[in-house]
Amino acid sequence: MPQPDYRSLWDLTASGGLSSRRFVADASGRFVLADLARGRSLTVAPETLRGQSVLLSCERQLPAVQALLQLDGIARRILLCPPDLAPVHVPAVLEEGEVDAIVSDGTGPAAQSAGAVRMIGIGSQFIKNEQAPGRDSPTEWLLFTSGTTGRPKIVVHTLASLAGPLDDGMAIASDAVWSTFYDIRRYGGLQILLRALLGGGSMVLSQAHESVADFLARAQRCGVTHISGTPSHWRRALMSPAARDFTPAYVRLSGEVADQAILNSLAAAFPRSSIAHAFASTEAGVAFDVRDGLAGFPAALIGQAGAKADLRVVDGSLRIRSARTASRYLGDGHRLADADGFVDTGDMLELRGGRYYFVGRREGIINIGGQKVHPEEVEAVINQHPAVQMARVRGRPSPITGAIVVADIVLRSGSGTLETIRDDILETCRRALPPHKVPAMLTEVAGLEIAESGKLVRRRA
Protein backbone atom coordinates (compact mmCIF):
# COMPACT_ATOMS: atom_id res chain seq x y z
CA MET A 1 0.00 0.00 0.00
CA PRO A 2 1.38 3.44 -0.86
CA GLN A 3 2.11 5.64 2.16
CA PRO A 4 2.45 9.25 1.03
CA ASP A 5 4.88 10.02 3.86
CA TYR A 6 7.15 7.00 3.19
CA ARG A 7 10.73 8.04 2.69
CA SER A 8 12.56 5.52 0.57
CA LEU A 9 16.25 4.69 0.59
CA TRP A 10 16.67 6.96 -2.42
CA ASP A 11 14.72 9.85 -0.83
CA LEU A 12 16.77 9.61 2.36
CA THR A 13 20.02 9.33 0.40
CA ALA A 14 19.18 12.35 -1.74
CA SER A 15 18.14 14.40 1.30
CA GLY A 16 21.78 14.36 2.41
CA GLY A 17 22.64 16.22 -0.81
CA LEU A 18 23.91 14.73 -4.06
CA SER A 19 27.24 16.45 -4.42
CA SER A 20 29.56 14.98 -7.00
CA ARG A 21 31.85 13.93 -4.15
CA ARG A 22 29.40 11.26 -2.99
CA PHE A 23 30.20 7.90 -4.55
CA VAL A 24 29.92 4.15 -4.16
CA ALA A 25 32.92 2.13 -5.34
CA ASP A 26 34.26 -1.40 -5.40
CA ALA A 27 37.54 -2.74 -6.80
CA SER A 28 36.31 -2.70 -10.39
CA GLY A 29 34.04 0.30 -10.65
CA ARG A 30 32.36 3.29 -9.09
CA PHE A 31 29.39 5.57 -9.58
CA VAL A 32 28.44 8.94 -8.16
CA LEU A 33 25.10 8.95 -6.39
CA ALA A 34 23.94 11.90 -8.47
CA ASP A 35 23.98 9.60 -11.55
CA LEU A 36 20.98 7.79 -10.14
CA ALA A 37 19.02 11.06 -9.91
CA ARG A 38 19.17 11.30 -13.66
CA GLY A 39 18.98 7.74 -14.82
CA ARG A 40 18.64 4.06 -14.05
CA SER A 41 20.97 1.10 -14.39
CA LEU A 42 18.16 -1.47 -14.34
CA THR A 43 17.42 -2.56 -17.89
CA VAL A 44 13.70 -1.90 -17.32
CA ALA A 45 11.98 1.08 -15.73
CA PRO A 46 11.77 0.41 -11.96
CA GLU A 47 8.06 1.17 -12.24
CA THR A 48 7.52 -2.18 -14.01
CA LEU A 49 8.55 -3.92 -10.77
CA ARG A 50 5.98 -2.10 -8.63
CA GLY A 51 4.44 -4.36 -6.02
CA GLN A 52 6.67 -7.29 -6.98
CA SER A 53 8.95 -9.57 -5.00
CA VAL A 54 12.49 -9.22 -6.31
CA LEU A 55 15.60 -11.28 -5.62
CA LEU A 56 19.01 -9.64 -6.14
CA SER A 57 21.60 -11.99 -7.61
CA CYS A 58 25.03 -10.46 -8.23
CA GLU A 59 28.52 -11.51 -7.30
CA ARG A 60 29.64 -7.93 -6.92
CA GLN A 61 28.03 -5.67 -4.37
CA LEU A 62 28.02 -2.52 -6.52
CA PRO A 63 25.12 -3.54 -8.81
CA ALA A 64 23.18 -4.70 -5.74
CA VAL A 65 23.58 -1.25 -4.16
CA GLN A 66 22.25 0.36 -7.34
CA ALA A 67 19.27 -2.00 -7.37
CA LEU A 68 18.44 -1.23 -3.73
CA LEU A 69 18.51 2.50 -4.39
CA GLN A 70 16.26 2.07 -7.43
CA LEU A 71 13.74 -0.40 -6.01
CA ASP A 72 13.12 0.48 -2.35
CA GLY A 73 9.67 2.08 -2.14
CA ILE A 74 8.56 0.40 -5.38
CA ALA A 75 9.06 -3.36 -4.99
CA ARG A 76 6.94 -5.15 -2.41
CA ARG A 77 9.92 -7.16 -1.24
CA ILE A 78 13.66 -7.31 -1.96
CA LEU A 79 15.63 -10.47 -1.15
CA LEU A 80 19.29 -9.61 -0.57
CA CYS A 81 20.74 -12.88 -1.74
CA PRO A 82 24.34 -13.32 -0.50
CA PRO A 83 26.81 -14.43 -3.18
CA ASP A 84 27.63 -17.64 -1.33
CA LEU A 85 24.08 -18.99 -1.22
CA ALA A 86 24.38 -22.55 -2.50
CA PRO A 87 22.58 -22.76 -5.88
CA VAL A 88 20.82 -25.88 -4.60
CA HIS A 89 18.83 -23.66 -2.22
CA VAL A 90 17.74 -21.18 -4.91
CA PRO A 91 14.49 -22.91 -6.00
CA ALA A 92 13.21 -23.10 -2.42
CA VAL A 93 14.19 -19.46 -1.79
CA LEU A 94 12.35 -18.36 -4.96
CA GLU A 95 9.25 -20.21 -3.82
CA GLU A 96 9.34 -19.16 -0.19
CA GLY A 97 10.04 -15.54 -1.13
CA GLU A 98 7.24 -15.62 -3.73
CA VAL A 99 9.78 -14.13 -6.10
CA ASP A 100 8.38 -12.50 -9.25
CA ALA A 101 11.67 -11.33 -10.74
CA ILE A 102 15.40 -11.90 -10.38
CA VAL A 103 17.44 -8.71 -10.74
CA SER A 104 20.95 -9.67 -11.77
CA ASP A 105 24.01 -8.47 -13.59
CA GLY A 106 24.28 -11.99 -14.99
CA THR A 107 26.16 -13.37 -12.00
CA GLY A 108 25.35 -14.64 -8.53
CA PRO A 109 23.62 -17.76 -7.22
CA ALA A 110 20.30 -17.23 -9.07
CA ALA A 111 21.61 -15.86 -12.38
CA GLN A 112 20.76 -19.09 -14.19
CA SER A 113 17.56 -19.89 -12.28
CA ALA A 114 14.96 -17.79 -14.03
CA GLY A 115 12.60 -20.54 -15.16
CA ALA A 116 9.14 -19.14 -14.71
CA VAL A 117 10.50 -16.01 -13.05
CA ARG A 118 11.30 -12.77 -14.91
CA MET A 119 14.96 -11.92 -15.30
CA ILE A 120 15.83 -8.22 -15.12
CA GLY A 121 19.32 -7.02 -15.95
CA ILE A 122 21.52 -4.42 -14.32
CA GLY A 123 23.63 -2.61 -16.87
CA SER A 124 26.92 -0.80 -16.49
CA GLN A 125 25.54 2.35 -18.12
CA PHE A 126 22.88 4.68 -16.79
CA ILE A 127 19.77 5.06 -18.95
CA LYS A 128 17.93 8.36 -18.73
CA ASN A 129 14.77 8.04 -16.62
CA GLU A 130 11.56 8.81 -18.48
CA GLN A 131 10.17 10.18 -15.25
CA ALA A 132 11.11 9.69 -11.61
CA PRO A 133 9.04 6.83 -10.18
CA GLY A 134 7.04 7.41 -7.00
CA ARG A 135 8.79 5.57 -4.16
CA ASP A 136 6.04 5.56 -1.58
CA SER A 137 5.30 1.90 -0.78
CA PRO A 138 7.25 0.41 2.13
CA THR A 139 9.40 -2.48 0.90
CA GLU A 140 10.27 -5.59 2.89
CA TRP A 141 14.01 -6.21 3.03
CA LEU A 142 14.76 -9.91 3.34
CA LEU A 143 18.13 -10.90 4.77
CA PHE A 144 19.66 -14.35 5.00
CA THR A 145 21.07 -15.56 8.32
CA SER A 146 24.70 -16.59 8.31
CA GLY A 147 24.13 -20.12 9.59
CA THR A 148 26.88 -22.49 8.56
CA THR A 149 24.86 -25.57 7.73
CA GLY A 150 21.67 -26.19 5.78
CA ARG A 151 19.50 -23.58 4.14
CA PRO A 152 19.84 -20.18 5.79
CA LYS A 153 16.74 -18.74 7.40
CA ILE A 154 15.31 -15.61 5.84
CA VAL A 155 14.66 -12.71 8.17
CA VAL A 156 12.15 -9.96 7.36
CA HIS A 157 13.20 -6.35 7.96
CA THR A 158 12.10 -2.96 6.68
CA LEU A 159 14.18 0.12 5.99
CA ALA A 160 12.78 1.46 9.27
CA SER A 161 13.97 -1.55 11.30
CA LEU A 162 17.35 -1.52 9.56
CA ALA A 163 17.98 2.19 9.94
CA GLY A 164 16.05 3.08 13.10
CA PRO A 165 17.55 5.47 15.64
CA LEU A 166 20.29 4.17 17.91
CA ASP A 167 22.23 5.42 20.88
CA ASP A 168 25.37 3.89 19.55
CA GLY A 169 27.27 7.09 18.98
CA MET A 170 28.39 6.33 15.44
CA ALA A 171 28.75 9.97 14.67
CA ILE A 172 27.21 10.81 11.34
CA ALA A 173 29.82 13.03 9.82
CA SER A 174 28.84 14.17 6.37
CA ASP A 175 31.71 13.57 3.98
CA ALA A 176 32.44 10.37 5.86
CA VAL A 177 33.69 7.62 3.58
CA TRP A 178 32.52 4.32 4.98
CA SER A 179 33.79 0.86 4.32
CA THR A 180 33.44 -2.63 5.64
CA PHE A 181 35.04 -6.00 5.21
CA TYR A 182 31.50 -7.40 5.24
CA ASP A 183 29.37 -7.98 2.21
CA ILE A 184 26.52 -5.46 2.24
CA ARG A 185 24.05 -8.30 1.76
CA ARG A 186 24.86 -9.34 5.33
CA TYR A 187 23.32 -7.48 8.24
CA GLY A 188 26.65 -6.08 9.43
CA GLY A 189 27.61 -4.81 5.98
CA LEU A 190 24.18 -3.42 5.23
CA GLN A 191 24.34 -1.36 8.42
CA ILE A 192 27.46 0.34 7.13
CA LEU A 193 26.00 0.96 3.67
CA LEU A 194 22.93 2.57 5.27
CA ARG A 195 25.13 4.77 7.47
CA ALA A 196 26.96 5.93 4.37
CA LEU A 197 23.86 6.59 2.27
CA LEU A 198 21.58 8.05 4.95
CA GLY A 199 24.34 10.02 6.63
CA GLY A 200 25.34 11.97 3.55
CA GLY A 201 28.55 10.03 2.98
CA SER A 202 30.14 7.65 0.48
CA MET A 203 30.79 3.94 0.49
CA VAL A 204 33.76 1.77 -0.45
CA LEU A 205 32.70 -1.85 -0.92
CA SER A 206 34.84 -4.89 -0.33
CA GLN A 207 35.19 -7.35 -3.17
CA ALA A 208 35.42 -11.11 -3.24
CA HIS A 209 38.89 -12.51 -3.98
CA GLU A 210 40.62 -9.19 -3.30
CA SER A 211 43.49 -9.66 -0.86
CA VAL A 212 43.30 -7.92 2.49
CA ALA A 213 46.39 -5.90 1.57
CA ASP A 214 44.82 -4.71 -1.68
CA PHE A 215 41.55 -3.88 0.04
CA LEU A 216 43.26 -1.84 2.77
CA ALA A 217 45.40 -0.01 0.22
CA ARG A 218 42.31 0.76 -1.86
CA ALA A 219 40.41 1.94 1.23
CA GLN A 220 43.26 4.32 2.03
CA ARG A 221 43.37 5.62 -1.56
CA CYS A 222 39.60 6.20 -1.53
CA GLY A 223 39.86 8.20 1.69
CA VAL A 224 37.98 5.78 3.93
CA THR A 225 37.31 7.35 7.34
CA HIS A 226 34.95 4.80 8.96
CA ILE A 227 35.41 1.06 8.65
CA SER A 228 33.92 -2.06 10.22
CA GLY A 229 34.63 -5.77 10.31
CA THR A 230 34.53 -8.82 12.52
CA PRO A 231 37.37 -9.49 14.97
CA SER A 232 38.46 -12.26 12.57
CA HIS A 233 38.60 -9.74 9.70
CA TRP A 234 40.67 -7.40 11.84
CA ARG A 235 43.07 -10.11 13.05
CA ARG A 236 43.71 -10.94 9.42
CA ALA A 237 44.03 -7.25 8.48
CA LEU A 238 46.61 -6.62 11.19
CA MET A 239 48.77 -9.36 9.68
CA SER A 240 49.03 -7.24 6.54
CA PRO A 241 51.76 -4.60 6.21
CA ALA A 242 49.13 -2.47 4.40
CA ALA A 243 47.46 -1.87 7.78
CA ARG A 244 50.44 0.33 8.71
CA ASP A 245 49.59 2.90 6.07
CA PHE A 246 45.88 2.92 6.81
CA THR A 247 44.57 5.84 8.88
CA PRO A 248 40.83 5.53 9.54
CA ALA A 249 39.17 7.84 12.05
CA TYR A 250 36.76 5.18 13.25
CA VAL A 251 37.20 1.43 13.53
CA ARG A 252 34.27 -0.80 14.43
CA LEU A 253 34.03 -4.48 15.32
CA SER A 254 30.91 -6.60 15.33
CA GLY A 255 29.66 -10.06 14.48
CA GLU A 256 31.89 -12.00 16.87
CA VAL A 257 33.16 -11.59 20.42
CA ALA A 258 35.71 -8.75 20.54
CA ASP A 259 38.29 -9.90 23.06
CA GLN A 260 40.72 -7.64 24.89
CA ALA A 261 43.63 -8.77 22.72
CA ILE A 262 42.10 -7.59 19.43
CA LEU A 263 40.93 -4.33 21.03
CA ASN A 264 44.45 -3.67 22.31
CA SER A 265 46.02 -4.63 18.97
CA LEU A 266 43.72 -2.26 17.09
CA ALA A 267 44.39 0.55 19.56
CA ALA A 268 48.13 0.06 19.02
CA ALA A 269 47.83 -0.16 15.22
CA PHE A 270 45.47 2.82 14.89
CA PRO A 271 46.42 5.17 17.74
CA ARG A 272 44.41 8.08 16.36
CA SER A 273 41.21 6.12 15.65
CA SER A 274 38.13 5.74 17.81
CA ILE A 275 37.54 2.06 18.26
CA ALA A 276 34.14 0.62 19.11
CA HIS A 277 32.71 -2.85 19.29
CA ALA A 278 29.04 -3.37 18.69
CA PHE A 279 26.54 -6.05 19.38
CA ALA A 280 24.17 -6.87 16.53
CA SER A 281 22.54 -9.86 14.94
CA THR A 282 20.45 -10.26 11.80
CA GLU A 283 17.37 -11.07 13.88
CA ALA A 284 17.86 -8.78 16.88
CA GLY A 285 19.35 -5.81 15.04
CA VAL A 286 22.00 -3.49 16.47
CA ALA A 287 21.59 -3.30 20.24
CA PHE A 288 24.48 -1.19 21.53
CA ASP A 289 28.11 -0.38 21.09
CA VAL A 290 30.98 -0.09 23.52
CA ARG A 291 33.57 2.65 23.21
CA ASP A 292 35.71 2.37 26.34
CA GLY A 293 38.27 0.06 24.73
CA LEU A 294 37.40 -2.80 27.06
CA ALA A 295 35.97 -6.19 26.17
CA GLY A 296 32.42 -6.92 27.30
CA PHE A 297 29.97 -4.20 28.28
CA PRO A 298 28.90 -2.41 31.48
CA ALA A 299 26.28 -4.37 33.41
CA ALA A 300 24.26 -1.17 33.71
CA LEU A 301 23.17 -1.57 30.08
CA ILE A 302 20.95 -4.48 31.14
CA GLY A 303 17.49 -3.25 32.05
CA GLN A 304 18.46 0.39 31.54
CA ALA A 305 15.44 2.67 31.32
CA GLY A 306 14.96 4.85 28.27
CA ALA A 307 17.47 3.07 26.07
CA LYS A 308 16.70 2.49 22.41
CA ALA A 309 17.18 -1.24 22.96
CA ASP A 310 15.90 -3.13 26.02
CA LEU A 311 18.31 -5.83 27.15
CA ARG A 312 17.65 -8.82 29.40
CA VAL A 313 19.65 -11.82 30.47
CA VAL A 314 17.58 -15.01 30.62
CA ASP A 315 19.24 -18.36 31.45
CA GLY A 316 22.61 -16.77 30.73
CA SER A 317 21.83 -15.55 27.24
CA LEU A 318 21.24 -12.02 25.99
CA ARG A 319 17.74 -11.06 24.87
CA ILE A 320 17.00 -7.84 23.00
CA ARG A 321 13.85 -5.88 22.24
CA SER A 322 13.99 -2.75 20.11
CA ALA A 323 12.48 -1.07 17.08
CA ARG A 324 15.41 -2.59 15.22
CA THR A 325 14.51 -6.21 15.66
CA ALA A 326 13.30 -8.05 12.57
CA SER A 327 9.56 -8.63 12.33
CA ARG A 328 9.63 -12.37 11.59
CA TYR A 329 11.27 -15.27 9.82
CA LEU A 330 9.91 -15.93 6.37
CA GLY A 331 7.96 -19.14 6.02
CA ASP A 332 8.65 -21.85 8.51
CA GLY A 333 6.71 -20.43 11.46
CA HIS A 334 9.69 -20.24 13.84
CA ARG A 335 9.01 -17.53 16.37
CA LEU A 336 11.56 -14.79 16.27
CA ALA A 337 10.70 -13.10 19.58
CA ASP A 338 9.40 -14.30 22.95
CA ALA A 339 5.99 -13.33 24.33
CA ASP A 340 7.39 -9.99 25.54
CA GLY A 341 8.87 -9.18 22.15
CA PHE A 342 12.46 -10.01 23.10
CA VAL A 343 14.72 -11.85 20.63
CA ASP A 344 16.92 -14.52 22.21
CA THR A 345 20.36 -14.02 20.66
CA GLY A 346 21.80 -17.35 21.83
CA ASP A 347 24.89 -15.41 22.91
CA MET A 348 25.90 -16.43 26.42
CA LEU A 349 27.02 -13.87 29.00
CA GLU A 350 29.02 -14.03 32.19
CA LEU A 351 29.03 -11.28 34.81
CA ARG A 352 32.48 -10.43 36.18
CA GLY A 353 33.27 -7.28 38.14
CA GLY A 354 30.38 -5.12 36.96
CA ARG A 355 30.76 -6.07 33.30
CA TYR A 356 29.12 -8.67 31.16
CA TYR A 357 31.41 -10.69 28.91
CA PHE A 358 30.32 -12.73 25.92
CA VAL A 359 31.55 -16.25 26.49
CA GLY A 360 30.24 -17.87 23.31
CA ARG A 361 27.26 -19.27 21.48
CA ARG A 362 24.82 -21.49 23.30
CA GLU A 363 25.06 -24.17 20.62
CA GLY A 364 28.88 -23.99 20.47
CA ILE A 365 29.38 -25.32 23.99
CA ILE A 366 31.92 -28.10 24.41
CA ASN A 367 30.95 -30.62 27.08
CA ILE A 368 33.98 -31.99 28.97
CA GLY A 369 32.68 -34.76 31.19
CA GLY A 370 29.64 -32.63 32.08
CA GLN A 371 31.53 -29.36 32.48
CA LYS A 372 30.76 -26.68 29.91
CA VAL A 373 33.35 -24.78 27.91
CA HIS A 374 32.69 -22.02 25.40
CA PRO A 375 35.36 -22.01 22.68
CA GLU A 376 35.36 -18.22 22.57
CA GLU A 377 36.32 -17.77 26.22
CA VAL A 378 39.37 -20.00 25.73
CA GLU A 379 40.28 -18.25 22.46
CA ALA A 380 40.14 -14.91 24.27
CA VAL A 381 42.81 -16.14 26.71
CA ILE A 382 45.06 -17.70 24.06
CA ASN A 383 44.80 -14.57 21.93
CA GLN A 384 46.32 -12.56 24.79
CA HIS A 385 49.65 -14.30 24.24
CA PRO A 386 51.94 -11.94 22.34
CA ALA A 387 53.05 -14.64 19.90
CA VAL A 388 49.50 -15.59 18.90
CA GLN A 389 47.85 -14.02 15.86
CA MET A 390 44.59 -15.93 16.20
CA ALA A 391 43.25 -19.13 17.66
CA ARG A 392 40.33 -21.45 17.16
CA VAL A 393 39.23 -23.70 20.00
CA ARG A 394 37.10 -26.75 19.39
CA GLY A 395 35.98 -29.92 21.05
CA ARG A 396 37.64 -33.14 19.99
CA PRO A 397 35.52 -36.22 20.70
CA SER A 398 36.95 -38.39 23.45
CA PRO A 399 35.87 -41.83 24.61
CA ILE A 400 36.97 -40.90 28.12
CA THR A 401 35.45 -37.47 28.80
CA GLY A 402 33.06 -37.01 25.86
CA ALA A 403 35.31 -34.29 24.48
CA ILE A 404 38.58 -32.54 25.14
CA VAL A 405 39.44 -28.94 24.39
CA VAL A 406 41.92 -28.51 21.55
CA ALA A 407 43.22 -25.33 20.00
CA ASP A 408 44.46 -24.53 16.51
CA ILE A 409 46.82 -21.59 16.63
CA VAL A 410 48.19 -19.18 14.03
CA LEU A 411 51.42 -17.63 15.31
CA ARG A 412 52.57 -14.13 14.45
CA SER A 413 55.35 -14.08 11.96
CA GLY A 414 58.75 -14.11 13.62
CA SER A 415 57.42 -15.84 16.73
CA GLY A 416 59.35 -19.04 16.15
CA THR A 417 57.64 -22.40 16.35
CA LEU A 418 54.89 -23.57 18.63
CA GLU A 419 57.26 -26.02 20.36
CA THR A 420 59.24 -23.21 21.95
CA ILE A 421 56.21 -21.39 23.35
CA ARG A 422 53.72 -24.19 23.91
CA ASP A 423 54.33 -24.24 27.67
CA ASP A 424 54.12 -20.49 27.86
CA ILE A 425 50.73 -20.43 26.12
CA LEU A 426 49.45 -23.24 28.32
CA GLU A 427 50.70 -21.44 31.41
CA THR A 428 48.73 -18.35 30.31
CA CYS A 429 45.65 -20.57 30.03
CA ARG A 430 46.22 -22.25 33.40
CA ARG A 431 46.47 -18.90 35.13
CA ALA A 432 43.19 -17.66 33.64
CA LEU A 433 41.04 -20.77 33.31
CA PRO A 434 39.89 -23.74 35.40
CA PRO A 435 41.70 -26.97 34.46
CA HIS A 436 38.94 -28.46 32.27
CA LYS A 437 39.00 -25.36 30.04
CA VAL A 438 42.76 -25.44 29.43
CA PRO A 439 43.39 -26.86 25.95
CA ALA A 440 44.63 -30.42 26.10
CA MET A 441 46.35 -30.09 22.76
CA LEU A 442 47.73 -27.16 20.81
CA THR A 443 48.32 -27.45 17.08
CA GLU A 444 50.06 -24.87 14.95
CA VAL A 445 48.24 -24.07 11.71
CA ALA A 446 49.21 -21.72 8.88
CA GLY A 447 45.82 -20.04 8.76
CA LEU A 448 42.22 -20.36 9.89
CA GLU A 449 39.29 -20.23 7.55
CA ILE A 450 37.01 -17.23 7.73
CA ALA A 451 33.53 -17.66 6.26
CA GLU A 452 31.85 -15.24 3.85
CA SER A 453 30.03 -13.88 6.88
CA GLY A 454 33.39 -12.73 8.28
CA LYS A 455 33.22 -15.18 11.16
CA LEU A 456 35.70 -17.86 12.02
CA VAL A 457 34.57 -21.17 10.54
CA ARG A 458 33.65 -23.55 13.35
CA ARG A 459 32.83 -27.10 12.49
CA ARG A 460 30.70 -28.80 15.04
CA ALA A 461 32.22 -31.94 16.44
Partner 1 sequence: MSVRPIILDHIVRIAEQQKKPLAPLTDDLPLLESGLDSLCIAVLVASLDDSLGVDPFDRDGDVPFPVTLGDFIELYEHATA
Q: For binding to partner 1 (CB under 8 A), which residues are involved?
A: 368-369, 396, 398-401, 404, 406, 423, 426, 435-436, 440-441
Question: Of 404 and 411, which has the nearer Cβ to partner 1?
Answer: 404
The number of C-alpha atoms within 13 Å of 440 and in the hemisphere containing its C-beta is: 12
Q: Give, as one character, the DSSP assignment of residue 2.
A: -
Shortest distance (Å) from residue 250 CB to partner 1: 44
Shortest distance (Å) from residue 57 CB to partner 1: 44
Write the CA distances from 125 to 24, 38, 206, integer angstroms: 15, 12, 21
Question: Of 210 and 444, which has the nearer Cβ to partner 1?
Answer: 444
- Residue 65: which of 228, 255, 203 has the closest Cα? 203
Positive or negative, the CA dihedral 161, 164, 166, 168 is positive
Question: Of 150 and 397, which has the nearer Cβ to partner 1?
Answer: 397
Shortest distance (Å) from residue 408 CB to partner 1: 14
CA–CA separation, 367 and 401 (whole Å): 8
User: Do the Cβ atoms of 310 and 321 come closer than 8 Å?
Assistant: yes
Shortest distance (Å) from residue 390 CB to partner 1: 22
Shortest distance (Å) from residue 383 CB to partner 1: 21
Question: Of 277 and 374, which has the nearer Cβ to partner 1?
Answer: 374
C-alpha dihedral (179, 219, 230, 97), degrees to nearest 10: 40
Question: Of 190 and 368, which has the nearer Cβ to partner 1?
Answer: 368
Question: Of 314 and 441, which has the nearer Cβ to partner 1?
Answer: 441
